[in-house]
Structure 1
Amino acid sequence: MPKASPAPPPEASPPEPAPPAAKPATGEALRDFALAELANAVRQLAREGDARHSGVHQARKSLRRVRATLALARRGLGGPGRRLDEELGRLCRGLSPLRDGQALVEALGRLGPTAPPALQAQLPQAIGLAEARREGLLARALARDPEFARRRARIGQFAGRLARLPWGEVRDKHVARAVARSERRLARARKRVARQPGHDERWHVLRRRLRRLRQQDHLLLGLSPSLRPAGGVPLDEAAALGEAQDDVLLLRHCGSHSPFPPDLRRALRALARERLQRVRDATNGA
């Protein structure tokens, strides 16, 4: 009787697919985003030459994004997170005069198409005066803090403190409550503007509240879309208030300490008031 042939060996089962990489917890994702923004602020303040003006602007934007991130995590981070936010705010405000110096030059450059012919002829003089003021502000700041080394070192210290915050305590519910808080603050700011449309500070607060919510919305779009503001962020309102900021800046620099001679100051002030009122009327009536 012929021998039975041996059974073939069992086929090897295919390897199990590797499990998908775990998504970072909400707190860890917020921490990593904030640390990247602090690192960017340091890089921006290290820029040289004419790029320093843009570097200051970008550094301030990064610092504001870090503050928006801390606001989202404020319930989980507690007192240490709030204290760090306050110190970041002071650093950011300390850079404001430098940013305003560059922003004034940019605002004047954007005036061209809307300015009456008589003012258009004076704009090169206005821009030249604003540029001289900007360079003077930067030179004095660098004399006190060469290469912005002290500020950059301070941001590095902030990064160390931020990394040690209890990000593991941050939960989605904390972020959702923070977003809801930002939405409520924006709604209150809109109501105050509606009650006092001629009050400059009310408009300033409205712009800040809208900017904070936009920053948080943009951040959450990449990290956790389900936590984004339920009502969205009106881009047309944000754009209008951003444009109006040019006119606020012009008016601020047409007072008693203006870099402009009296006749130029009066012309700039008249145009800025007209443009600003037009934007505010449209925004408040929307």
Structure 2
Amino acid sequence: MGGLPAMPEVAPPVSPASDAPPIGDALRAFALDELANAARQLAREGGERHAGIHQARKSLRRVRATLALARRALGEPGRQLDGDIAGLCRGLSALRDGQALVEALKRLDPAESPALQALLPQAIELAKARREALLQRALAREPDLARRRQRIQGFARRLARLPWDEVRGKRVARAIARSERRLDKARARVARQPGHDERWHVLRRLRRLRQQDHLLLALASDLRPVAGVPLDEATMLGEAQDDVLLLRHCGSRSPFPPALRRELRAVARERLRRVREAVAAA
């Protein structure tokens, strides 16, 4: 595997008043670590590539969650960087979905349906074949995903130059409070229209808020939301995303034959209904 330069190593300045680095330096170090991990994950080979792409995208999302905490202090360069990272995430979406579909199928409980119990092994094998075909097409265009790893190297250099010393704890706390208010509004809209798919789509904000909560728990626990982010709700919405993914792959361009498609669609719809009812009642 060759040729990519090392990720930039940026040592945070030492704070004379405390052993802990200022919040901006801590956020910068965390984001740089996540970019380094994304590059490492994309460099995985063979059968590990699928999981590597999935993990790389998770790291990139965590970087975006970090940038969002410091959005105002980092200004336009920070917003531009966030947009470029979002573009790379979108470019990895099809490859990520290939892996996510396999994982979603493996998480299904065969007891959900007698017919599914017999058909699930076939569904998993078909999903694996589709995942491999997507990856091989991508590698034919871009061997070793080298251009994307180079882009991540560039993101790290840009991120290291942002004015992290302008980030203040009060601003970070206000950013979290804004995220909580937006999430509360999204929950209220879901409660008013529980059958509206777009309303549920917006609740994905919970994922970012939970990422930020985990980050602040490690770096600055005093800035976290008072009660943290509800794990049960986040878990249920994650399961709902599995069902949405399954439904998306049961349409006209599905990798599954009609009988299997119908069974998966019925199971996913029932699971999605139960999860949404539970979240709406919470």
What TM-score results when the alignment is normalised by the length of structure 1? 0.91
Q: Does 1:275 align with 2:263?
A: no
Out of 36, 49, 54, the position equivalent to 1:52 is 49
Choose 1 or 2 for highest CA Rg. 1
Counterpart among 105, 130, 135 of residue 132 in structure 2: 135
Tell me whether 1:235 sits opposite 2:231 in the alignment: yes
Shift of 1:20: 8.5
1:112–1:123 contact (8 Å) kept in structure 2: no
Q: C-alpha displacement at 1:114, in angstroms?
A: 3.3
What do the CA deviations read for 1:150-178 (whole angstroms, capped 9, x no partner)? Answer: 00000000000000001111111110111
Q: Which residue of 1 aligns with 2:89?
A: 92
Unaligned stretches of 5+ residues in structure 2:
1-15
Q: Distance in 2 between matches of 1:23 and 1:129?
A: 51
Q: TM-score, normalised by structure 2?
A: 0.92
Task: Please list the CA deviations of residues 30-53 of structure 1 after superposition, one character each: whole Å capped at 9, or x if unmatched.
Answer: 101100100000000000011111
1:42 and 1:59 in contact (8 A); partners too: yes
Aligned match for 2:121, one of 95, 120, 124: 124
Match of 1:191 in 2: 188
Percent of paired sites with the same residue = 76
Could you list the per-position Cα deviations for residues 219-270 of structure 1 after superposition, in whole angstroms to 9, with x for gaps in the alignment? 0111111000124211110111111221111100001111111111111101
> SS at 2:46's partner residue?
coil
C-alpha displacement of 1:22: 3.0
Asked if the contact 2:110–2:116 (Cα under 8 Å) also holds between the matched residues in 1, the reply is: no
Residue-by-residue CA offset, 1:7-33 (whole Å, 9 max, x unaligned): xxxxxxxxxxxx986321111111011
> Does the 8 Å CA contact 1:38/1:63 hold for their aligned counterparts?
yes
Corresponding residue number in structure 1 for 2:260: 264
**Residues of 2 paired with 1:257 and 1:166: CA distance?**
46
CA gap of 1:78–1:238, structure 2 versus 1, over 3 A, is same
- Counterpart residue number, 2:164: 167
Q: Structure 1: how far apart are the matches of 2:266 and 2:139?
A: 35
Distance between the aligned counterparts of 2:238 and 2:206, measured in 1?
A: 10
Measured against aligned partners, the alpha-carbon deviations of 1:130-159 in whole angstroms (never above 9, x if no partner) come to 111100111111112110100000000000
